[in-house]
Chains A and B, each alone.
Chain A
Amino acid sequence: QVQLQESGPGLVKPSQTLSLTCAVSGASISSDDYYWNWIRQAPGKGLEWIGYIHYRGSTFYKPSLKSRLTMSLDTSKNQFSLNLKSVTAADTAVYFCARSDYPSLYFDLWGQGTLVSVSS
């Protein structure tokens, strides 16, 4: 059974960097068959796709976040990560990691999500 689990600080100060990790169990992230994604949901709002990474190193980020965003993966730990710099209160959200098939980009598996608040 494949599972995804997000982890990271629940509180980040404005202008600092938000860093999250998604641990994958039950499947290898070193697969040509999948993209590994981050999606967020501000409190009471809808879903916003942030970006994906493929194990061969290709990434694609939402254009409006591209200048602040970096994704990486660690095949030895079977996990992937998100770094979003220069955060503001607008980045407060539940952050989900999710898997999508290559080349389709619908999300068939999700982590439970982790709330990150940006506040001083």
Chain B
Amino acid sequence: DIQMTQSPSTLSASVGDRVTLTCRASQTITTWLAWYQQKPGKAPKLLIHDASSLQSGVPSRFSGSGSGTEFTLTISSLQPDDFATYYCQQYKSYSNTFGPGTKLEIK
């Protein structure tokens, strides 16, 4: 299986901050990567697919970049609704895998 790691595991930030979350794959996945936001007790929500394509309806303050093995999710100006856990997912292989998540907390 392709292993995914995310850093940091927890990030404390304030409303209005620009934050960057990192995801790394154990082998190249070109741009077969998605990002999800999950709030407690809720299903994950797709934010980004194909590493940098914004899912319809997702605010433009979210952006994704990267290719190969290293990827980032950037939130340009944090809003109160953005405090959640973020997961990356590789789908290069049919046995797709998720990263362990980054919890974004209010400072």
Determine which of A62, A104, A105, A107 lies in contact with B44 in the assembled complex, contact meaning CB atoms within 8 Å: A107
Main secondary structure of the interface of B (DSSP, over half): loop
| A73 to B36 alpha-carbon distance, docked (Å) | 26
Please measure, in the bound complex, the distance between the C-alpha atom of A94 and the C-alpha atom of B89, giving whole angstroms.
Answer: 18
CB atoms of A105 and B43 under 8 A apart: no
Residues of chain A in range 90-120 having any CB-CB distance to chain B below 8 Å = 96, 98, 100, 104-108, 110-113
- CB of B55 within 8 A of CB of A96, answer no
Docked complex Cα distance between A113 and B45 (Å): 13
Which range holds the interface residue count of chain A? 10 to 19
Contacts of A89 on B, CB cut-off 8 Å? none
* Contact yes or no, B97 A49, CB < 8 A: yes
Whether B101 contacts A46 by the Cβ 8 Å rule is: yes
Decide yes or no: A108 and B46 within 8 Å by CB, A46-B100, A46-B101, A49-B96 being known contacts: yes
Residue of B nearest to A61 (CB): B95
A27 at the interface (CB under 8 A from B): no
Q: A106-B50, A111-B43 are in contact. List 17 more A-B contacts (CB 8 A).
A: A46-B101, A47-B44, A47-B89, A47-B101, A49-B89, A49-B96, A63-B95, A96-B43, A104-B32, A106-B34, A106-B89, A106-B91, A107-B34, A107-B46, A110-B45, A112-B42, A112-B43
